[in-house]
Amino acid sequence: MTIDDARKEFPALQNQVFLDSACVSLPPQRATDKLRAFLDMAASCPSGNASQQHLDMDARRSAARAPLAKLINAGEDDIALMESTTHGLSLVADAIPLQRGDRVVVCDLEFVAVAIPWVQKRQETGIEIDIVPNRNGQLLIEDIDAAITARTRVVAISSVQWNNGFLCDLDALSRLCRERGVFLIADAIQQIGAIPLDVQKTPVDAIACGGHKWLMAPFGCGFLYLSKEFRDRVKPPLAGYLSEVEPEGGWAAYFETPTIKPVRDYDFVPNARRWEIGGTANYPGAIALAESVGLINEIGIGKVGEHVLCLTDYLIDSLQQQGVEIVTPLDRRNRSSIVTFTLGDVKKNVALLDYLQQRKVLVSLRYTSSIGGLRVACHLFNNREDIGRLAEVTGEFLRRGAKATG
């Protein structure tokens, strides 16, 4: 599968320039086809047995773990299917044993979902939150190091910042947290699926990632990666019945056994699946997610990453030629698939956003702590023509403004 072949999986690109995967991505055709097949199956019970129907649904959902594990070079036992990034981050925060006076480090660029669990913990248990300020849109490892104290228990961070695409040095941060004995919790929804992340090379305690952005599966299912070391040190969430080790003979035989009782000792699975809902879950979301992630794996995440960085190189160059201010850090080591730019004024940015959307060029407008602007998201299905069209329409807008003030 080549990048050019993959673009054919997205028929909506024929009549619009879609550069907004950092918000909600388009799904590939194979994912929507798989969803239709699942709906047909759910509506007809082809097995002729409702118990078998349920087991078939469970199996189709479970198949999502393997491609997710492959994508980040993890073990399948380390992957739990989640409703969203927020769902995963909340479970992780609740599992870490914290007490009054313990400290959590976050930065001032974060998306609200990264901060909210710790704010709630602060209200409930009296922990402290240390906020590391950005430096011109960048988060420096030395600043995080300086913020860590003897009472710091957690560093919670987005591997790619949502407002300007800053890619943090997760390798260095991982080493730092291990040296200081601190949990490293990463929100990687703006990285995984576009920029490679290998958990064998970059050990992280927990990674939460929704499916609706760079994984191209906007159907309410993502995943949570949990290292074995992390799972061994924290309290798992309350379990559901499917968190139990499957009974001998399978669930169908178990429920047909007259002597089963609800109150007894249970043997729960020791892997990340313990963190899932543990009951009937989001089958369509997981089934589509598996197909979308399969497409990324088929191309190769390394090829995807190089493709999107080449597109961002071209985008930055095209915008700079028009005198546009680039908000995203220019060093390629700290760049991702997101490029944010600004016309220097919020009203002008809003006007340009509207002008682009009227011409079917889709981007977003995002800010945090006064850092942000028009956010462009370049994914595997985008090409240089898409970037050229964005630059062309932006140039038209700038020339109209120059005439209006001339």
Of 296, 320, 353, which residue constitutes the final position of a domain? 296
SS3 167: strand
Distance CA 194, CA 244 (A): 35
CATH number at residue 374: 3.90.1150.10
Same-domain pairing of 122 and 142: yes
- The answer on 347 and 291 residing in a single domain is no
326 and 217 both lie in a single domain: no
- Provide the pLDDT for residue 403: 59
Residues 130 and 263 in one domain: yes
DSSP code per residue over 215-280: T--TTT-EEEEE-HHHHHHSPPPPP-GGGBPPPTT-HHHHHT-TT--SSS---B-SSGGGGS-SSS
Q: Which of 387, 345, 375, 379 is nearest to 137 (CA)?
A: 375
Q: For residue 190, how many other CB atoms are within 10 A of its CB?
A: 29
Nearest-angstrom CA–CA distance, 160 and 169: 10
What is the predicted pLDDT for the residue at 404?
57
What tokens were used for 102?
A: 């313990």
Report residue 253 as tokens: 């035989």
Among 296, 320, 355, the domain-final residue is 296
Give one DSSP letter per residue of 20-45, joined into a string.
-TTTSPPPPHHHHHHHHHHHHHHHH-
**Domain assignment of residue 26, yes or no:** no
Q: How many domains does the chain have?
A: 2
Q: Containing domain of residue 205, as a range? A: 32-296
Domain assignment of residue 216, yes or no: yes
| Same structural domain, 113 and 198 | yes
Nearest in space to 255 (alpha carbons), one of 55, 120, 100, 101: 55
Q: What are the 10-residue block averages of pLDDT along the chain, 406 residues in total?
A: 96 97 98 97 94 93 98 98 97 96 97 96 96 96 98 98 97 98 98 98 98 98 98 94 88 89 91 94 97 98 98 98 96 96 96 98 97 98 98 96 58
Residues 6+ apart with CB under 8 A from 357: none
Q: Tell me, yes or no, whether 228 and 368 share the same domain.
A: no
Predicted TM-score (pTM) of this structure = 0.96
